[in-house]
């Protein structure tokens, strides 16, 4: 319900709008929402970001400001962004940052609503302090991830890579496999990505019959920075509301770097001085506020998997460093592996996972994973030598490790369900047992006489 107190627009600077309230009136708080109706009859939300002199509230528009002009009346939206009390109405729907449907399937019944942000923050669930001691692995069916970087329920995992390294197709495959073979609700936040990618994601969910357990929130590349920034916060708040119903949540975001970019655009529009690295001075606090909402409770948890764009493949970029400080697992995609056609193009030597311990995955899994990593490290050293003097100059034991490491590299690539239309190969979901036993057979020398090309982009080793 809107407040009776009204103000008026006094200035519009692109996505930044100044609204003035009558002298002596109590100002609405920072973070609260205002509303204005444009000359074209559209309602635009205005989120207050700071108070200024003369009873002026500076706001960020959650939408386009075409048709917003001076002296237009604004009202205070007391409850901010609201969602239907029955969250089941949201499943299978595509929403924008203000929880309005954008899938042309009709509006929600808003007779009974709850405020999104306040309810999410006030959900009184008990934090599970012993979550680490009873870690539950979530299997993705992707050999490289299940073997070397196992996903644990309630953890945060980042898929880091530059442009065209395969982040989106990998996150799509993880979503497809986890929701198909595991229980739980999926909340997907599409932040600052292309409309084409959102369209492909929606139709992939439709094809795989995953929509009935999914809520999709999009703030896309063509939208205002306010909408892109808010889309990430809305998605994670919806995940919190599902968590409050004692349900496990799988939270996916593509791409969290665009959330940072949107915050940087807003900061520039507000005239704030950037930090030394060129990003907004509030970079660390904004990322922290987003990630502190992703947590485990006594009876349920939010498991987060986020794609992170790495500008110019620079892993030392301040935004990337600030993001991966919150991650339990870092899965780094390599451009050199993409060029060699090894998908997923995960660089095992740059990536890391807190979950690869004997207490979580078991001694056999741990030992095989470390033996695989040892082969990869040795291969990385030998590859430089081979490129200069040739493989013939290696010692016999070095040749064996070099050949087995190439077979392991090929074996840990695999065809994806979500890439079938591009590759023509049917996708493969590979169990952990098949992955471990396949690696053991290669490491033990059982496969030494088989050509390495036979292991490329297959599922499990047959026979």
Q: How far apart are CA 366 and CA 84, in angstroms?
A: 46
- Structure pTM? 0.90
Q: Which residue has the tokens 């519009």?
A: 12
Is 80 a residue whose pLDDT tops 90? Answer: no
Average of per-residue pLDDT values in the chain: 90
pLDDT, tens digit, for every residue of 380-439?
Answer: 999 989 988 888 888 999 999 999 999 999 999 999 988 888 888 999 999 999 999 999
Q: How far apart are CA 410 and CA 101, in angstroms?
A: 43
Q: How far apart are CA 226 and CA 13, in angstroms?
A: 13
Confidence at residue 134, expressed as pLDDT on a 0 to 100 scale: 61
Q: How far apart are CA 376 and CA 399, in angstroms?
A: 13
Radius of gyration of the chain from its Cα atoms, rounded to whole angstroms: 25
Catalytic residue among 70, 134, 194, 196: 194
Q: Do 339 and 406 form a contact (C-beta atoms < 8 A)?
A: no
Q: How buried is residue 457: exposed, middle or buried, by Cβ count under 10 Å (0-12/13-18/19+)?
A: middle
For the chain, first and last CA: distance in Å? Answer: 67
Report the alpha-carbon angle 220-226-230, nearest 5: 75
Q: How far apart are CA 61 and CA 17, in angstroms?
A: 7
Section 128-146 average pLDDT: 77
Q: How far apart are CA 223 and CA 62, in angstroms?
A: 9
Confidence at residue 120, expressed as pLDDT on a 0 to 100 scale: 53
For the chain, percent of residues with pLDDT exceeding 90: 64
206 — pLDDT class (breaks 50, 70, 90): confident
- Tell me the CA distances in angstroms from 100 to 14, 219, 436, 441, one per residue in order: 22, 12, 46, 53
Q: Do 308 and 159 form a contact (C-beta atoms < 8 A)?
A: yes
pLDDT, tens digit, for every residue of 219-278?
Answer: 999 899 999 999 999 999 999 999 988 889 999 999 899 999 999 999 999 989 998 788
For the chain, percent of residues with pLDDT exceeding 70: 95
Both structure tokens of 278: 């060129």
Pairing of the two strands 94-95 and 352-353: unpaired
Confidence at residue 300, expressed as pLDDT on a 0 to 100 scale: 87
Instruction: Enumerate the domain spans of the chain.
Output: 2-79, 83-353, 363-455
Is 128 a residue whose pLDDT tops 60? Answer: no
Nearest to 229 by CA among 250, 202, 201, 257: 257
Is 130 a residue whose pLDDT tops 70? Answer: no
1 — pLDDT class (breaks 50, 70, 90): very low
Positive or negative torsion for Cα 53, 56, 62, 68: negative
303 — pLDDT class (breaks 50, 70, 90): very high
Active site residue 247: no
Which residue would you say has higher pLDDT here, 371 or 182? 371
- In this structure, whether the domain defined by 83-353 belongs to CATH 3.40.50.150 is answered with no
Q: How far apart are CA 450 and CA 54, in angstroms?
A: 79
Active site residue 167: yes
Q: Do 229 and 266 form a contact (C-beta atoms < 8 A)?
A: yes
pLDDT, tens digit, for every residue of 312-368?
Answer: 899 999 999 999 899 999 999 999 999 999 999 999 999 999 999 999 999 999 999
123 — pLDDT class (breaks 50, 70, 90): low
Is 185 a residue whose pLDDT tops 70? Answer: yes
Architecture field, domain 363-455:
Orthogonal Bundle (1.10)
For the 2-79 domain, the top CATH level (class) is mainly beta
pLDDT, tens digit, for every residue of 4-23?
Answer: 678 999 999 989 999 999 98
Cβ count near 165 (within 10 Å): 24
Both structure tokens of 23: 């002298």
Confidence at residue 118, expressed as pLDDT on a 0 to 100 scale: 59
Both structure tokens of 432: 């952990």
- Tell me the CA distances in angstroms from 108 to 45, 90, 99, 210, one per residue in order: 18, 9, 10, 21
HSE-up of residue 186 (Cα within 13 Å, Cβ side): 32
**What residues does 46 pair with on adjacent strands?**
34, 61
Coil, helix or strand for 319?
helix
Q: Do 172 and 202 form a contact (C-beta atoms < 8 A)?
A: no
Confidence at residue 132, expressed as pLDDT on a 0 to 100 scale: 46
Both structure tokens of 271: 């005239």
Both structure tokens of 344: 């997923």
Confidence at residue 127, expressed as pLDDT on a 0 to 100 scale: 52
2 — pLDDT class (breaks 50, 70, 90): low
Catalytic residue among 58, 93, 167, 404: 167
147 — pLDDT class (breaks 50, 70, 90): very high
Q: How far apart are CA 120 and CA 443, in angstroms?
A: 49
Catalytic residue among 58, 77, 156, 193: 193
Q: How far apart are CA 358 and CA 305, in angstroms?
A: 23
Phi-psi domain of 101 (left: phi exceeds 0; alpha: psi -120 through 50; beta: other): beta
Confidence at residue 295, expressed as pLDDT on a 0 to 100 scale: 87
Coil, helix or strand for 349?
coil
Positive or negative torsion for Cα 345, 349, 351, 357: positive
Active site residue 85: no
């Amino acid at each position: 319900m809107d407040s009776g107190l009204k103000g008026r627009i006094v200035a519009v600077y692109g996505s930044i709008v100044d609204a003035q309230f009558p002298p002596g009136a109590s100002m609405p708080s920072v973070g609260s929402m205002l509303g204005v109706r444009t000359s074209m009859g559209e309602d635009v939300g205005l989120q207050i970001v700071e108070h200024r002199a003369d009873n002026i509230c500076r706001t960020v528009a959650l939408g386009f400001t075409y048709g917003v002009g001076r002296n237009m009346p604004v009202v205070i939206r007391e409850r901010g962004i609201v969602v239907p009390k029955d969250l089941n109405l949201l499943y299978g729907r595509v929403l924008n940052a203000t929880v309005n449907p954008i899938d042309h399937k009709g509006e929600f019944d808003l007779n009974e609503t709850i405020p999104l942000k306040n309810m999410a923050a006030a959900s009184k669930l008990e934090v599970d302090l012993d979550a680490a001691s009873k870690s539950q692995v979530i299997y993705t069916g992707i050999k490289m991830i299940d073997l070397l970087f196992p996903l644990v329920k309630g953890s945060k995992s980042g898929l880091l890579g530059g442009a065209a390294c395969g982040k989106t197709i990998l996150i799509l495959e993880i979503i497809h496999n986890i929701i198909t073979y595991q229980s739980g609700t999926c909340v997907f936040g599409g932040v600052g990505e292309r409309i084409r990618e959102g369209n492909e994601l929606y139709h992939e969910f439709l094809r795989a019959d995953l929509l009935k357990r999914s809520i999709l929130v999009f703030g896309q590349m063509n939208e205002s920075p306010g909408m892109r920034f808010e889309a990430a916060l809305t998605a994670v708040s919806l995940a919190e509301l599902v968590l409050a119903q004692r349900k496990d949540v799988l939270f996916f975001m593509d791409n969290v770097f665009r959330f940072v970019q949107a915050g940087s655009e807003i900061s520039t529009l507000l005239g704030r001085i950037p930090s030394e690295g060129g990003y907004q001075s509030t970079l660390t606090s904004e990322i922290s506020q987003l990630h502190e909402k992703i947590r485990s409770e006594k009876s349920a948890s939010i498991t987060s998997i986020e794609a992170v764009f790495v500008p110019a493949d620079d892993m030392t970029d301040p935004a990337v460093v600030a993001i991966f400080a919150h991650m339990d697992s870092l899965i780094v995609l390599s451009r050199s592996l993409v060029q060699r056609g090894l998908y997923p193009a995960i660089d095992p030597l740059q990536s890391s996972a807190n979950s690869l311990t004997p207490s979580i995955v078991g001694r056999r899994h741990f030992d095989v994973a470390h033996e695989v990593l040892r082969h990869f490290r040795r291969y990385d050293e030998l590859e430089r030598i081979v490129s200069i003097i040739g493989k013939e100059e290696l010692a016999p034991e070095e040749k064996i490790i070099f050949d087995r490491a190439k077979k392991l590299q090929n074996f840990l690539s695999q065809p994806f369900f979500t890439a079938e239309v591009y590759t023509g190969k049917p996708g493969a979901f590979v169990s952990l047992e098949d992955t471990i036993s396949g690696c053991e057979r290669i490491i033990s020398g059982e496969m030494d006489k088989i050509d390495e090309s036979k292991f490329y982009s297959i599922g499990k080793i047959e026979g």
